[in-house]
Amino acid sequence: MTELLTFVTTDYAGITRGRSIPAASFTPGRPKSVGWVPANMSLTPFDQIADHNPWGSSGDLRLLGDEAARYRVTLPGAATPTDMMMSDIVELDGTPWPLCPRTFLRTALDELKSLTGLTLQVSFEHEFQLFGTGWAQAPAFSLRALRQADPFGPDLMAALDALGMKPEVFIAEYGRDQFEVTMAPTEGVTAADRAVVLREVTRELASLRGWQASFAPKTAVEGVGNGVHIHFSFADAKGTNATFDPTRPGRVSATAGAFAAGVIRHLPALVAFTAPSPISYLRLKPHNWSSSYTWFGDRDREASLRICPVTTVGGADPARAYNLEYRAADACACPHLALAVIVRAGIEGLKRRLPDPPLFSGDPELLPPAERAALGLERLPLSLEAALERFLGDPVAMGWFTPLASETYVGMKRTEIALAGHAIDDDLCRRYAGIY
């Protein structure tokens, strides 16, 4: 049997697509690429190319494989290994294509390092649900829920470990047959690559058992939500965590505080990329343990950007694990694009030397509007269309993209909205559950 190696890219719709070659034909150390098409970036999640796109039927590109980002593992029950190589989208002469999400992220991270001398350490934390298992309902967070999933959990952790992704925790979550997986932090582009791999490996492992794994933000209107929490911290040249400063409010360093201020300032535009589906906004509601306001919080799971708890048990140094968590995201987003816009917003805060955003704890819904405004607590957009309007109305955020990139993204998303229809109901949630 011929084993295949697939060159993959995760596009503006958050779908991982690619082309395969015989694995034996790949020669290590020699650049290898496969053909690609510009209009592919205008594909909606429903596999229809947006009517409004700048590409039409013309143009050619290449997927240039990154040998250092090859992920190969044989899953239990699979006929052949899962073998994928993260790829950059490039022009025919190998120059970067401006719309490539992976290149877009790398450029943002390079600018952050040039500006601060710091690198970003990142971990994507995913929630997902399993369908078709036939299991009885088990209590949330329970040992029973974990054990009846056996050996799915051990097999998933073993696969991630074999891929060098350093899995840390497998959790039975709040919802029925809902689970969460966390991985150790790593540098930004690799972290986004690993988010892609985690999703694909989880889906395939479930499929091999006759189940369906879904990372969709809502699989039913009244059901539990599946989020993606993006944890990040800053490291200096010696690897020391530069996010922590015990002398400042919240123990947030001046660099991290300015970065957080940029994220909070541009958050209404960011969610167009980090919560990028019509059903994403079913999650982003108050009292939903999700995100609903431009809110910087300390260990509060309703905050959109929060300071994560750190332990001192056994004499552990809190500075080592100290990190911030962006919570207004889900798996309809391309990990590279989502992280890139967060980094871009943070860079704006650093360049403008913005003061730390106010740390808030409580319920914004109970505050008078004037008090909310004084604290910088603005309600996030209530729909994807509203989020796109906030992006288009934010000249700084628009400036992060070339005109072709913003035209492509907005055109694709507006076509997706039209294809999804007006009813944000269980049928639509099921459609997204099948895709993501």
Q: Which of 400, 392, 390 is nearest to 351 (CA)?
A: 400
Q: What is the pLDDT of residue 1?
A: 85
pLDDT in tens, 235-249: 999 999 999 999 999
Is the previous residue joined to 309 through a cis bond, with omega within 30 degrees of 0?
no
Q: What is the pLDDT of residue 405?
A: 98
Q: What is the pLDDT of residue 312?
A: 87
**Are 343 and 212 found together in one domain?**
yes
Average pLDDT score over the chain: 96
CA distance 140 to 110: 42
127 — pLDDT class (breaks 50, 70, 90): very high
Q: What is the pLDDT of residue 315?
A: 85
Evaluate if pTM is beyond 0.95: yes
**Are 63 and 131 found together in one domain?**
no
The boundaries of the domain holding residue 35 are 4-96
**Are 342 and 288 found together in one domain?**
yes
Amino acid at position 37, single letter: V
Residues 382-407 have a mean pLDDT of: 98
Whichever domain contains 422, its CATH number is 3.30.590.10
**Which string of DSSP letters, residue by residue, matches 243-255?**
SB-TTSGGGB-HH
Do the beta carbons of residue 44 and residue 416 sit within 8 Å? Answer: yes
DSSP state at residue 135: P
**Are 326 and 379 found together in one domain?**
yes
- pLDDT > 90? residue 274: yes
Domain boundary among 96, 129, 159: 96
**Are 67 and 153 found together in one domain?**
no
**Are 73 and 109 found together in one domain?**
no
- Kindly provide the residue ranges of all beta strands, DSSP E only, lying in 204-295, ordered along the sequence: 212-214, 228-235
Cα-Cα-Cα-Cα dihedral sign, residues 351, 302, 142, 177: negative
52 — pLDDT class (breaks 50, 70, 90): confident
The CA-atom distances, in angstroms, between 252 and each of 66, 359, 431 are 35, 11, 41
**Are 81 and 123 found together in one domain?**
no
Q: Which of 192, 168, 166 is nearest to 180 (CA)?
A: 168
Q: What backbone phi and psi angles, to 5 degrees, belong to 79?
A: -75, -30
Counting the structural domains of the chain, the total is: 2
Amino acid at position 56, single letter: G
Do the beta carbons of residue 326 and residue 232 sit within 8 Å? Answer: yes
CA distance 345 to 36: 30
Residues 3-18 have a mean pLDDT of: 98
- pLDDT > 90? residue 296: yes
Stretch among 50-59, 116-125, 225-234, 260-269 having the lowest mean pLDDT = 50-59
Do the beta carbons of residue 177 and residue 135 sit within 8 Å? Answer: yes
Domain boundary among 35, 67, 96: 96
CA distance 21 to 223: 40
- pLDDT > 90? residue 299: no
Whichever domain contains 33, its CATH number is 3.10.20.70
Residues 9-21 have a mean pLDDT of: 98
**Are 174 and 311 found together in one domain?**
yes
- pLDDT > 90? residue 16: yes
44 — pLDDT class (breaks 50, 70, 90): very high
**Are 111 and 227 found together in one domain?**
yes
- Joined together, the tokens standing for residue 326 give 């962006």
Q: Which of 106, 81, 96 is nearest to 6 (CA)?
A: 81
Q: Which of 270, 251, 381 is nearest to 327 (CA)?
A: 270
Cα-Cα-Cα-Cα dihedral sign, residues 15, 9, 126, 230: negative
**Are 58 and 142 found together in one domain?**
no
Amino acid at position 422, single letter: H
288 — pLDDT class (breaks 50, 70, 90): confident
Residues 124-137 have a mean pLDDT of: 96
Q: Which of 315, 294, 317, 318 is nearest to 378 (CA)?
A: 294
**SS3 category, 287:** coil
CA distance 109 to 120: 7
**Are 17 and 166 found together in one domain?**
no
- pLDDT > 90? residue 316: no
**Are 278 and 308 found together in one domain?**
yes
CA distance 89 to 195: 18
Domain boundary among 96, 121, 144: 96
